[in-house]
Amino acid sequence: MLLVIMNIKRKILFLFRVIMAIAILVILSVQLAGVINQAGDSYRRWQNRDHPHGNPLKVFREVDGIFIHEDDRVLMKLKKYYRVYKPAE
């Protein structure tokens, strides 16, 4: 009887470990998919230089640049910075 109980206990522990391993792999794969999705979004924004939140370094190296809305503070600061400190190309 003791051998049967110990064998069931081993099977339950093995099954628990397998379920936990699968759960960890699912969590990690979801996290990786999110990271890849975010990286793809930021890369597309970086490549699309006509987008208002695209690559500001490429846009503001031009003489005039793009039209910037007054409420976009980050792009306004970048445009002011690149007017004063124009980097070497």
pLDDT in tens, 6-42: 788 889 999 999 999 999 999 999 999 988 888 777 6
Please tell me the total count of domains within the chain: 2
Residues 30 and 1 in one domain: yes
Containing structural domain, residue 21: 1-47
Residues 62 and 81 in one domain: yes
Listed in sequence order, the residues at least 6 apart from 82 whose beta carbon sits closer than 8 Å to its beta carbon are 57, 60, 61, 65
Residues 10 and 33 in one domain: yes
Who has greater pLDDT, 51 or 84?
A: 84
pLDDT recorded at residue 88: 57
Residues 38 and 67 in one domain: no
Q: Give the integer Cα–Cα distance in Å for 60 and 82.
A: 6
Residues 16 and 34 in one domain: yes
Above 50 in pLDDT, residue 63?
no
Q: Report the SS3 class of residue 53.
A: coil
Residues 78 and 36 in one domain: no
pTM as predicted: 0.44
List the Cα angle 41/46/51 in 5-degree steps. 90
